[in-house]
């Protein structure tokens, strides 16, 4: 990270950027006592941007959040519940999402259109609104500008996740310290197109909504859209960014000399969160990273990387610490991309297993040792041109099957 134009803030959080507070509580949507309702609040109207699931079935809160951001590009807060996705819930679900927005807006004294809402959990059931209402009424007094508030929020957005996911970096723009931070949830149904994940980015940079939207989309394509757990996508994904502008930098524009540094910081935040989601994939025991190089283009490399990371056979082999390059090359060959069948190299970490598409002798014990680690990097070099890509996923395990064999029960 030494070369990067930003530094990671230890103990930094989504409340580190100036102007933000956060918090969470248990209102009763989850059967456990874990938090299930949370919010991030900005003390000034923040420039906002959003990226949403591509699934045709979009949950009610997505419609409401789109409307809020579209109204004037500004948000004061985002309200999130877990335990119930408010998806496939028809007119009642839509009414409930609007009521969440207006009730929380009233509780914090802002316009309804300045609040975004998000939901995650079981679909097809209407929200228990009496619990949500009572939670909303108590929530404002729970919001704090410290790490505790941020962590309470992080807990409130989890479903089958095992760990909280948060990161914060800082950089200098026009002599001012600017923070970029993020929190996310997600562990199943994660695939290129933003599947059951929620992500929230806060920054105190000055930047307008339109430019923030552009940078957020670019960062998403190289991070959240390059992870997969099982190829499924959800009805509820969304990534929302809010920029308070309180750092005092000159507003970021495509002409600002610091724009590359800010974009890099934003990409880094998104990549850290995306990798954390992949590592925490349902039942996962390790993070798998696929690095493709030598493809005819970056897009082609991305398609190949996603096919390899999405292969159930590759994922099972990694779980079993089996150095099965045959599964990898079979996935490369079905990605629908230009590949020279005679020039492919494959390595697991530093261990070369295939060169020029032919198996080479390797130390099986060393490979086993490497594959037993908590991070496995699969390198694929096509030796055709300069296209590169990275994608992230996890292994396929007994626990994945167990978790999803009885999700509703």
* Residue of 149, 310, 387, 393 that binds a second copy (CB under 8 A): 310
d(CA 206, CA 5): 18
- Residue 404 labelled as part of a binding site: yes
Q: Is 87 in the site for a second copy (CB under 8 A)?
A: yes
Half-sphere exposure of 164 (CA within 13 A, CB side): 19
- Residue 193 labelled as part of a binding site: no
CB of 365 to a second copy, least distance (A): 13
Those residues whose C-beta lies under 8 Å from the C-beta of residue 133, and which sit 6 or more positions away, are 99, 103
- Residue 282 labelled as part of a binding site: yes
d(CA 396, CA 403): 12
Q: Is 234 in the site for a second copy (CB under 8 A)?
A: yes
Radius of gyration of the chain (CA): 22
* Residue of 57, 70, 163, 363 that binds a second copy (CB under 8 A): 57
**Residue 350 burial (CB < 10 Å; 0-12/13-18/19+)?**
exposed
Residue 251: helix, strand or coil by DSSP? coil
Annotated catalytic residue within 53, 89, 120, 196: 196
Binding residues for a second copy restricted to 98-137, rule: CB under 8 A: 122-125
List phi, psi (to 5°) of 201: -115, 130
CB of 182 to a second copy, least distance (A): 25
d(CA 201, CA 246): 15
* Residue of 81, 233, 249, 302 that binds a second copy (CB under 8 A): 233
* Residue of 12, 188, 199, 393 that binds a second copy (CB under 8 A): 188
CB of 115 to a second copy, least distance (A): 25
**Contacts by residues 356-362 (CB-CB < 8 Å, ≥ 24 positions apart):** 357/329, 359/325, 362/323
- Residue 159 labelled as part of a binding site: yes
Task: Judge whether 196 counts as a catalytic residue.
Answer: yes
d(CA 226, CA 228): 7
* Residue of 141, 253, 312, 375 that binds a second copy (CB under 8 A): 312
- Other residues' Cβ atoms within 10 Å of the Cβ of residue 1: 8
d(CA 312, CA 303): 16
Buried/exposed code over 311-332 (b: 16+ C-beta within 10 A; e: otherwise): beebbbbbbebbbbbbbbbebb
- The residue with tokens 């000034």 is 44
CB of 68 to a second copy, least distance (A): 21
Q: Is 329 in the site for a second copy (CB under 8 A)?
A: yes
CB of 347 to a second copy, least distance (A): 15
d(CA 391, CA 374): 16
CB of 10 to a second copy, least distance (A): 37
With CB under 8 A, what is the number of residues at the site for a second copy? 62
Q: Is 325 in the site for a second copy (CB under 8 A)?
A: yes
> With CB under 8 A as the contact rule, which of the stretches 27-35, 51-59, 74-82, 100-108 interacts with a second copy?
51-59
The annotated binding site for substrate is made up of 159, 185, 196, 282, 404, 409
The residues assigned a catalytic role are: 196
What residue ranges bind a second copy (CB under 8 A)? Answer: 54-58, 87-88, 90, 122-125, 188-189, 191, 193, 195, 230-235, 310-313, 316-317, 319-320, 322-327, 329-334, 339, 341, 354, 357-359, 396-398, 400-409
């Amino acid at each position: 990270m030494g070369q990067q134009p930003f530094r990671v803030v230890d103990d930094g959080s989504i409340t580190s950027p100036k102007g933000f507070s956060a918090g969470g509580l248990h209102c009763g949507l989850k059967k456990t006592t874990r938090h299930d309702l949370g919010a991030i609040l900005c003390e000034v109207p923040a420039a906002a941007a959003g990226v949403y699931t591509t699934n045709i079935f979009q949950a009610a809160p997505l419609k409401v959040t789109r409307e809020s951001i579209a109204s004037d590009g500004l948000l004061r807060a985002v309200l999130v519940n877990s335990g119930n996705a408010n998806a496939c819930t028809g007119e009642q679900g839509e009414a409930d999402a609007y009521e969440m927005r207006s009730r929380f807006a009233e509780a914090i004294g802002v316009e309804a259109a300045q609040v975004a809402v998000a939901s995650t959990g079981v679909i097809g059931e209407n929200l228990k609104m009496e619990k949500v209402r009572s939670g909303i009424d108590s929530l404002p007094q729970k919001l704090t500008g410290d790490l505790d508030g941020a962590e309470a929020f992080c807990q409130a957005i989890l479903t089958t996740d095992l760990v909280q996911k948060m990161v914060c970096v800082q950089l200098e723009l026009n002599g001012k310290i600017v923070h970029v931070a993020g929190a996310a949830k997600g562990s199943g149904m994660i695939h290129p197109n933003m599947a059951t994940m929620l992500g929230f980015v806060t920054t105190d940079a000055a930047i307008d909504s339109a430019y923030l939207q552009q940078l957020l989309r670019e960062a998403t394509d190289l991070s959240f859209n390059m992870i997969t757990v099982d190829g499924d996508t959800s009805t509820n994904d969304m990534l929302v960014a809010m920029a308070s502008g309180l750092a005092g930098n000159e507003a970021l524009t495509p002409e600002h000399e610091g724009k590359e540094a800010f974009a890099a910081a934003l990409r880094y935040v998104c990549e850290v969160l995306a990798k954390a989601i992949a590592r925490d994939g349902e039942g996962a025991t390790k993070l798998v990273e696929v690095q493709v190089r030598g493809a005819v283009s970056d897009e082609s490399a991305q398609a190949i990387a996603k096919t390899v990371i999405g292969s159930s056979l590759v994922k099972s082999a990694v779980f079993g610490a089996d150095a099965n390059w045959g599964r990898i090359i079979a996935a490369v060959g079905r990605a629908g991309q230009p590949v020279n069948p005679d020039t492919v190299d494959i390595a697991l970490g530093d261990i070369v297993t295939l060169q020029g598409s032919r198996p080479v002798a390797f130390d099986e014990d060393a490979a086993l040792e490497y594959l037993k680690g908590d991070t496995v990097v699969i390198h694929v070099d096509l030796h055709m041109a300069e296209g590169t890509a990275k994608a992230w996923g996890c292994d396929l395990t007994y626990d994945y099957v167990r978790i999803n064999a009885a999700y509703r029960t």
